[in-house]
Amino acid sequence: MKIKIISAVLAVCMMLSMASCGAKDESSSKKESTKATTTTTTTAATEAVKTEVESEAEEEPQITLTKSSLEYWAEDSAVREDLIDYVEKVTDPDSEDFIPVEDRIAVFDFDGTLIGELYPCYFDWCLFVHRALHDDSYQAPEDMKAFAEELEEAFKTRTLPEGSEIKSARFTAQAFAGMTVDEFRAYCRDFMNTEAEGFNNLTKGEAYYKPMVSLFKFLQDNDFTCFICSGTERNCIREMIQGVLDIPASQVIATDWKYVGTEQGDTDPFDYQFKPDEKLVFAGELITKNVKGNKVPMIAREIGQVPVLAFGNSSGDLSMGQYVVNSDKYDTRAYMLLCDDTEREYGNLEKAEKFKKTCEELGFTTVSMKNDFATIYGDDVTITAEASAADAA
């Protein structure tokens, strides 16, 4: 680019010189004409240089990456430096690790990766308990109510009953049977505005990990397409991310519930014609709980290609991470959060150390919430004294 600019500038100088020499040889009657010609030639040449520079700038876009690109991360975080260096090299057309825009895909788990999951449990589990036990407009079946009571008691010790993951998913789908998507999203929105139990100055809908949100946006700014891949129901997440994460609904890969028409009854969809003015509602049945090994085929089905980055926080994300790093087309990475902060979050050091060892064996990079995050929810958010005591016990 510099050579082309220099050549253009030399061309301007030569034209100016020629115009000047010509002016000396002409008679005084032609001086004004020569002056006009010189001015026109100079302007044209200058515009040519300007166009050349602008054209080159368009052909070689420069992405500015600074060390402040990731807000809320600790300044001395090695993971932060690693992420910035990675993005810098894969977005540089001259780098051997360059990744074309169409292949810059990142997948993020949701609960425990982008948003808190300990207030006192996953958002959708808390939502289910509220629906089954504390919503006066809903009468839960006895078996659902009994499980919800067991779950609510387990929240206090942060030790969930065995097999509760799939059981909770099925009961949650059943609890919202008959609702339209809009009605369910409104229900989720109302619940988001309730207090995040165990925290001061925080609602459930505000409980995002600020460093991870800044990372999500940092990748988007550098032309990565970011997907959420979660065990929470799709429409719940689609509502929860409003005003926080700017992605279309189609980039939410999550747990699926069955839909039916309000007049369909038990008629098979193959034999049913959707009627005028009919509404689509939840049937009360679980299709897929998008956790663990289920995340891999869901990603393949809905994205259609292997992402280059994966972010998670638990054993439920290991398959997703492995799927990403198995690809040898590009430099692919998996980053996993460790629940090792016991002052700003309800960490579990034993669990964090065990998970860290597993990640290291798989070649994943771990992110210490304690050491890599300058803040988690914001400096004004604290753990309640009562919750801290209960958690320590």
Max avg pLDDT among 51-55, 57-61, 204-208 = 204-208
Q: How many CB atoms lie under 10 A from the CB of residue 226? A: 21
Beta bridge partners of 73: 373
* From 146-150, 260-264, 385-389, the region with the lowest mean pLDDT: 385-389
Q: Is residue 155 in some structural domain? A: yes
Q: Are residues 25 and 83 in the same domain?
A: no
Q: Which pLDDT score is estimated for 42?
A: 46
Q: Are residues 17 and 111 in the same domain?
A: no
Residue 72 domain flag: no
Residues 274 and 195 in one domain: yes
Q: Is residue 241 part of a domain?
A: yes
Q: Is residue 65 part of a domain?
A: no
Q: What is the mean pLDDT of the chain?
A: 87
What percent of the chain is predicted at pLDDT more than 70? 80
Indicate the angle between helix axes 318-325 and 349-362, nearest 10 degrees. 20
pLDDT recorded at residue 41:
46
Measured CA to CA, the distance from residue 319 to residue 327 in angstroms comes to 13
- Give the CATH number of the domain where residue 216 resides: 3.40.50.1000
Same domain, 173 and 33: no
Contacts of 343 (CB under 8 A, 6+ apart): 370, 383
Classify residue 133 as exposed, middle or buried by CB count within 10 Å of its CB (0-12, 13-18, 19+): middle
Is residue 71 included in any domain, yes or no? no
Angle 210-221/78-90 helices, nearest 10 degrees? 10
**Residue 188 pLDDT more than 70?**
yes
Strand residues in 22-153 grouped as ranges (E): 105-108
Residue at 70 is within a domain: no
The reply to whether 84 and 50 lie within a common domain is no
Confidence of residue 63 (pLDDT cuts 50, 70, 90): low
Question: Are 113 and 31 contained in the same domain?
Answer: no
Q: Which domain holds residue 181?
A: 78-392
Residue 157 and residue 252 share a domain: yes
61 against 133, higher pLDDT:
133
CA atoms within 13 A on the CB side of 31: 4
**Same domain (yes/no): 259, 375:** yes
- The mean pLDDT value for 120-139 works out to 98
Kindly indicate the confidence band of residue 158, based on its pLDDT and cuts at 50, 70 and 90: confident
Same-domain check for residues 55 and 101:
no
| Residue 159, domain member (yes or no) | yes
Single pTM value for the model: 0.83
- Is pLDDT of 264 > 90? yes
Tell whether 47 and 84 lie within a shared domain. no
Task: Indicate whether 193 belongs to any domain.
Answer: yes
Whether residue 289 is found in the same domain as residue 342: yes
Inform me whether the pLDDT recorded for 372 exceeds 70: yes
> Are 73 and 372 spatial neighbours (Cβ–Cβ below 8 Å)?
yes
* Number of domains, the chain: 2
| Pair 169, 234 in one domain | yes
Name which of 20-29, 126-135, 192-201, 231-240 the model is least confident about: 20-29
**DSSP conformational letter for 195:** B
